[in-house]
Amino acid sequence: MKPFDLPTPFSDRITRWLVTCFSAILLFLSGIQPVAAITQTAATESASLSSESFVATAVKRVGDAVVRIDTERTITRNVPDLLYDDPLFRGFFGPDTFQRIPQQERLSGQGSGFIVDSSGYILTNAHVVNQADRVTVTLKDGRHFDGTVEGSDELTDLAVVKIDADNENLPVAFLGDSNRVDVGDWAIAVGNPLGLDNTVTLGIVSTLKRSSATVGIPDKRLDFIQTDAAINPGNSGGPLLNSQGEVIGINTAIRADAMGIGFAIPINKAKSIQGQLARGERIAHPYLGIQIADLTPEMAKRNNDDPNASMIIPEVSGVLVIRVLPNTPAANAGLRRGDVITAIDEQRFDTANQLQSYVDQARIGQRLRLNLKRGDQTQTVTVKAAELDLDA
């Protein structure tokens, strides 16, 4: 071997290294990037694109179907004659001489909604359109339509509005599945809050199945989606979207003091009664006629240890009956204040919300077998679910 000769394997490695370097130089001079550089650049551009556009993409998918709903209604107030305020005339002629004059006043309101059918059906909140004499629907592209409230249900705060859009090209929202929503998912609220059209706010789903009673709205029967996406007056009736642009809820701004917290009606609840509302049918809500509260053995013991307690409560887990309304199915079946319901149709309940949800799923006229503790005794009572009359 000559003094400067290298071993063959080592010489081969040097040769391959020189060829690689020379090839890279030629590629650089010709404007062609190496494969690794191209892959890295594409990945960077793709990451930048996805992080920049998922909210915009979701909103574009549904945004054209979101509408503004303006309402007007007339109320009548009885305003006294001006002379009625004069004590001299009132004292001389008597308090019943001057008539109160009926005076009409026009009130306006605004909310949001979204088109769910190309024939012109729109979902919104019941409180947006309740008692409205006139409903005007404005699309994102500026088109205006007169709307008709086809159906409304106060307990679920849902309503369907119809616009006459023959031969019009109406955009339609994509409805998702609220049963597949998880805590921590993206939540995008779209609507017209405070009169500001086409507004989008972003947050996450902070909790699920937040009952209306827990929220402080006892006149509703709902389990809300709770979100930290801003929902303000005017957002009511607009869609709550997931990251794919599917409607998972209907925004409802019904708590003025809910700072940083918004609530939405799950879209599956709306889908279950949407057809009935569109046909103008009344939504039947079963009820028993009791006011109830959660009960644990610890809570019952604290009550029983209080010498001023108004009653002794069985120290068990269940649902405490705190009031039985007169002339109701519960009263007719013999339920009493202080009873503790532990199960219905052999299904156990530990919370009032669970019991209420079970009753909500019952049929009008269905007989429910209630297992309850009354003092030291265990009893079974059958209650026939009746339809709740909101006008009573």
Residues in contact with 377: Cβ distance below 8 Å, sequence separation at least 6, in sequence order: none
- Give the span between the Cα atoms of 248 and 176, in whole angstroms: 5
What pLDDT sits at residue 38?
44
Pick the CATH number of 178-278 from 2.30.42.10, 3.10.150.10, 2.40.10.10, 2.60.40.1180: 2.40.10.10
What pLDDT sits at residue 258?
60
- Give the span between the Cα atoms of 251 and 255, in whole angstroms: 12
- Give the span between the Cα atoms of 269 and 283, in whole angstroms: 12
What pLDDT sits at residue 1?
45
Q: Which residue did the predictor score with more confidence, 369 or 20?
A: 369
Q: Which residue did the predictor score with more confidence, 360 or 99?
A: 360
Instruction: Note the Cα 183 to chain centre separation in Å.
Output: 14
Dihedral sign computed on CA atoms, order 252, 256, 260, 261: negative
pTM beyond 0.85: no
10-19, 117-126, 256-265, 326-335: range with lowest mean pLDDT: 10-19
Q: Is the pLDDT reported for residue 6 higher than 60?
A: no
Is 127 annotated as catalytic?
yes
What pLDDT sits at residue 266?
96
Catalytic residue among 152, 211, 236, 317: 236
Catalytic residue among 64, 153, 157, 339: 157
What pLDDT sits at residue 35?
47
Is 285 annotated as catalytic?
no
Q: Which residue did the predictor score with more confidence, 37 or 159?
A: 159
What pLDDT sits at residue 165?
81
What pLDDT sits at residue 18?
60
Q: Which residue did the predictor score with more confidence, 95 or 364?
A: 364
One fold for 64-163 and 178-278: yes
Distances (CA, A) of 238 to 18, 132, 191, 197: 65, 18, 5, 11
Q: Is the pLDDT reported for residue 79 higher than 60?
A: no
- For the stretch 308-348, pLDDT in tens is 888 889 999 999 999 999 999 999 999 999 999 999 999 99
Q: Are 34 and 24 in contact (CB under 8 A)?
A: yes
- Give the span between the Cα atoms of 34 and 30, in whole angstroms: 11
Assign 182 a pLDDT band (cuts: 50, 70, 90).
very high
Domain limits, the chain: 8-63, 64-163, 178-278, 286-387
- Apex 274 CA angle, 273 and 275, nearest 5: 95
Q: Which residue did the predictor score with more confidence, 339 or 7?
A: 339
CA nearest neighbour of 262 among 388, 83, 112: 112
Place domain 286-387 in its CATH homologous superfamily: PDZ domain (2.30.42.10)
In three-state secondary structure terms, 191 is strand
CB count within 10 Å of CB 310 equals 9
CATH architecture for segment(s) 64-163: Beta Barrel (2.40)
- Apex 23 CA angle, 18 and 24, nearest 5: 100
- For the stretch 231-250, pLDDT in tens is 887 889 999 999 999 999 99
In three-state secondary structure terms, 364 is coil
Q: What would you report as the CA-atom Rg of the chain, rounded to the nearest whole angstrom?
A: 32
- Give the span between the Cα atoms of 233 and 246, in whole angstroms: 22
* Mean pLDDT of the residues in the chain: 83
Q: Are 311 and 323 in contact (CB under 8 A)?
A: no
- Give the span between the Cα atoms of 250 and 229, in whole angstroms: 13
Average confidence (pLDDT) over 199-218: 85
3-state SS, one letter per residue, for 62-121: HHHHEEEEEEEEEEEEEEECHHHHCHHHHHHHCCCCCCEEEEEEEEEEEEEEEEEECCCE
What pLDDT sits at residue 103?
67
Q: Are 136 and 144 in contact (CB under 8 A)?
A: yes
Dihedral sign computed on CA atoms, order 123, 128, 133, 134: negative
- For the stretch 107-142, pLDDT in tens is 888 899 999 999 999 999 999 999 899 999 999 988
Q: How far apart are the first and last CA of the chain?
A: 112
Token pair 């996406």 in the structure block, residue: 229
Q: Are 96 and 169 in contact (CB under 8 A)?
A: no
Is 144 annotated as catalytic?
no
Catalytic residue among 64, 127, 152, 212: 127
